[in-house]
A and B are shown apart, each in its own frame.
Chain A
Amino acid sequence: MSNPFLLNLQRRDVITAPERAIIDDMTQRSRRVEAKRDIVEEGTMPTDSCLLLEGMAARYSVLDDGRRQITAVHVAGDFVDLHNLLLARMDHSVLALGDCTVAMVSHDFLRSLTTTHPHLTRLLWFCTVLDAAIHRQWLIASGRLSSVGQVAHFLCEMFTRLSVVELTEGFSFRLPLNQSELSDAMGLSVVHVNRTLQELRKRGLIRWHGDQVEILDWPGLVALAHFDPTYLNLESRPR
């Protein structure tokens, strides 16, 4: 199986053979995390950053009244807490949405990389900048789109990000989110998210069965979502 982190970076820049070797080293030490378990917990001070090799994960915070907001969804090839190298204490948790495999990349290793490999350092920086770009789009979608547009935008983004790491088949992909998790990611009630998915089905845009999503009308979904993938920085260029 291809290294999804390498696929992610290779989509955005040329990676040299010595850099590829370092990336392969990075992913040697891994662990399995069962679905619905935390990968990283709020309040902890991890000494590793977690690189998602398989599965999907969600960053989330819980309000004092128990309500949960999912602030990001990560796919294979994403670091879920790279920012932790500098921020130290986790201000949110990271949940395995389905069964996951994560590589544990030690902060010592990452620190030494920043002094010896400036290009890889910039690419790690790029990863956190990309996270920020995705957060901005989520903010725009939740603030400016209707619920059906917001969910459509999320599906367009997931499809595009998963296609980068070769986890799509035609217009189908695996999305191990239940409706409660989707509602926490959209900031909407479960019932309204359910209605919204019915609406997308009724319009002939998607099919969603179990954890399999199929986009039936990509141009229609893109138009509804006002989706423009520029923020995902998909072009390869020297960085």
Chain B
Amino acid sequence: MPRYRFEFMEDLGDETVEGIELQNDEEAHKEAVRCAREIMADGVMEGVDRTGWLSRVFDEATGRLVATVRFSDLLTKRPG
């Protein structure tokens, strides 16, 4: 299975998660969305707004950018 690198960017610095094996690019994108939602949910519990974060997913073998997820883009739905 291909391995992916997930980079997270926030105001105070970056962090990276490497070596995540996933079936394909689509799964890697879904994983980035899932993780972004969990990070924001943790932020809500801690009283920290992480909607300004961004994550980028790279194919580790080629360095190709697979997906970019802006956390704020995941909160577009309004109640109603």
Chain B neighbourhood of A198, CB < 8 A = 15, 17
- Rounded to whole Å, the gap between the CB of B30 and the closest CB of chain A is 9
Residue B58 lies at the interface, judged by CB distance under 8 Å to chain A: no
Considering the complex, which residues of chain B in the window 25-58 have a beta carbon less than 8 Å from any beta carbon of chain A? Answer: 31-32, 34-35, 38-39, 42, 45-46
Residue B65 lies at the interface, judged by CB distance under 8 Å to chain A: no
Contact B35 A192 (CB under 8 A): yes
- Rounded to whole Å, the gap between the CB of A224 and the closest CB of chain B is 12
Residue B20 lies at the interface, judged by CB distance under 8 Å to chain A: yes
Residue A8 lies at the interface, judged by CB distance under 8 Å to chain B: no
Residues of B within 8 Å of A, CB-based: how many?
14
Looking at chain B's contact residues, the main secondary structure is helix
15 cross-chain CB contacts under 8 A: A147-B38, A147-B42, A189-B35, A190-B20, A191-B6, A191-B17, A191-B20, A191-B35, A192-B39, A194-B17, A194-B20, A195-B8, A195-B15, A195-B39, A198-B17
Looking at chain A's contact residues, the main secondary structure is helix
**Interface residues as binary, A39-67 with B (CB distance below 8 Å gives 1, 0 otherwise):** 00000000000000000000000000000
Chain A residues close to B by CB (< 8 Å): 146-148, 188-192, 194-195, 198
Answer whether A189 and B17 are a contact pair too, CB < 8 Å, given A146-B42, A146-B45, A146-B46.
no
